[in-house]
């Protein structure tokens, strides 16, 4: 099986006998912590560091599985250009409504009885998009897992570097009890046997189909692509705010207030969309409007600081941000905010 995968261009690494986890690191790698990139075992062909050891080298593969025929087989999804949708069927309590399908609000009146596992949450997502569930996709390789779940294998198209996620994560997630295996993860190959049972391919299809377009869109919407254009939140105040301090007159304290007021807007930069950005920006503009009304700063200064902060968190949405800022400031101007001044 390892050779079959490697011939398809999927790098493989050994799994511990009877388990779905990689073989243990060697004693050196266990005792001296280091990054896989700095490990001497990997170039030497020793299978340390899980999927980082994955290889297409047939001789290495013959040696690993020749010496240990009971090793299972894992495929490093990223370099194999695979995206595997990992559907779980665990018995677990339903999460909060906003964690069932992250980014898709589910109203309180929607009846969720019968929704029990990842097969259901994925089916709901697919139905919302008018598509069949990937778990029912008989055009691609699907694998039953020993715990009653399913791995739906797809090929990543257009060299896109899809990222892993866990359905239970508070960050990036596609759906409740649905994990995504891609860059940064591995997948157990069908034919692997564990103490809990076998990984068995469903039906006759043994090749992954291209990732369906609608599913790619959903993965993109839920943040499964790296976002090089989105800057990390900046620890330093924006230039416009530094200018306020530079203007002097004991405005250090005002700057601290601004930093606190703008923090929720800056925090939105950590997620590519949503995250209540409009609300956060509106509230910040309202509060800062109050500072303008109390003569702590000019309206022009307030606008510059808000615009700069908003543009850093949501680049490309400047026009929309400008509208939110203007209406927030206008509302706040009616509520002067007298921050206690420290005596000089």
Determine contact, residues 329/287, Cβ cutoff 8 Å.
no
* Beta carbon nearer to Zn ion, 26 or 106: 26
CA distance 141 to 6: 16
Return the H-helix or E-strand segment holding 290: helix 277-293
User: Which residue's CB is nearer to Zn ion, number 49 or number 181?
Assistant: 49
Under a CB-based contact definition with an 8 Å cutoff, are residues 279 and 256 in contact?
no
Three-class DSSP category at 151: strand
Q: How far is the CB of 55 from Zn ion (least distance, A)?
A: 14
Output the smallest distance, CB 34 to Zn ion, in A.
Answer: 6
- Of the two residues 39 and 305, which places its CB atom closer to Zn ion in the complex? 39
Could you give phi then psi for residue 228, rounded to 5 degrees?
A: -65, -20
C-beta of 23 vs 241, nearer to Zn ion: 23
Handedness of CA 332, 262, 98, 221 (dihedral sign): positive
Half-sphere exposure of 10 (CA within 13 A, CB side): 29
| φ, ψ at 25 (rounded to 5°) | -65, 160
Instruction: Considering only CA atoms, give the Rg of the chain.
Output: 26
User: Considering beta carbons, is residue 34 or 59 the nearer one to Zn ion?
Assistant: 34
Which residues have C-beta within 8 Å of that of residue 14, sequence separation ≥ 6? 2, 22, 23, 47, 53, 64, 65, 68, 71, 72, 73, 74
* Min dist. Cβ of residue 93 to Zn ion (A): 39
Q: Least CB distance from residue 61 to Zn ion, whole Å?
A: 18
According to DSSP, the residues that pair with 15 across neighbouring strands are 22, 72
Element (H, E) at 187: strand 186-188
Whichever of 25 and 257 has its CB closer to Zn ion, that residue is 25
Name the site residues for Zn ion (rule: CB under 5 A).
26, 29, 39, 41, 48
The CB-of-39 to Zn ion minimum distance in angstroms stands at 3
Beta bridge partners of 82: 155
Nearest-approach distance from CB 38 to Zn ion, in angstroms: 8
- Answer for the pair 185, 77: CB distance below 8 angstroms, yes or no: yes
Write down the least CB distance from residue 44 to Zn ion, Å.
8
39 vs 188 by CB, closer to Zn ion: 39
């Amino acid at each position: 099986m390892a050779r079959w995968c490697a011939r398809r261009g999927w790098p493989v690494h050994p799994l511990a006998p009877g388990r779905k986890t990689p073989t243990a690191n060697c004693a050196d790698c266990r005792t001296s912590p280091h990054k896989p990139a700095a490990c001497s075992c990997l170039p030497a062909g020793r299978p340390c560091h899980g999927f980082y050891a994955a290889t297409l080298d047939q001789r290495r593969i013959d040696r690993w599985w020749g010496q240990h025929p009971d090793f299972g087989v894992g495929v490093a999804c990223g370099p194999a250009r695979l995206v595997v949708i990992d559907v779980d069927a665990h018995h677990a309590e339903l999460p909060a409504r906003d964690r069932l399908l992250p980014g898709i609000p589910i109203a309180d009146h929607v009846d969720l009885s019968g929704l029990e596992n990842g097969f259901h949450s994925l089916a709901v997502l697919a139905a919302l998009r008018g598509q069949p569930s990937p778990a029912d996709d008989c055009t691609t390789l699907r694998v039953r897992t020993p715990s009653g779940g399913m791995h739906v294998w797809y090929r990543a198209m257009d060299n896109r570097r899809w990222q892993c996620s866990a359905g239970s994560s508070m960050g990036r997630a596609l759906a409740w009890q649905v994990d995504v295996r891609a860059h940064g993860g591995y997948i157990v190959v069908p034919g692997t046997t564990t103490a809990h049972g076998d990984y068995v391919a469903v039906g006759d299809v043994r090749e992954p189909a291209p990732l369906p377009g609608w599913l790619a869109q959903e993965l993109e919407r839920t943040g499964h692509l790296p976002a090089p254009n989105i800057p990390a939140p900046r620890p330093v105040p924006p230039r416009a705010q530094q200018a306020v301090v530079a203007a002097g007159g004991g405005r250090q304290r005002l700057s601290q207030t601004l930093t606190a007021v703008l923090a929720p807007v800056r925090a939105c930069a950590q997620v590519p969309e949503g995250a209540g950005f409009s609300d956060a920006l509106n509230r910040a503009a309202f509060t800062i409007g109050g500072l303008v009304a109390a003569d702590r700063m000019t309206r022009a200064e307030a606008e510059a600081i808000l615009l700069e902060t908003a543009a850093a968190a949501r680049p490309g949405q400047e026009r929309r941000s400008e509208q939110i800022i203007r209406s927030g400031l206008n509302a706040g101007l009616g509520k002067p905010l007298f921050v206690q001044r420290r005596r000089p």
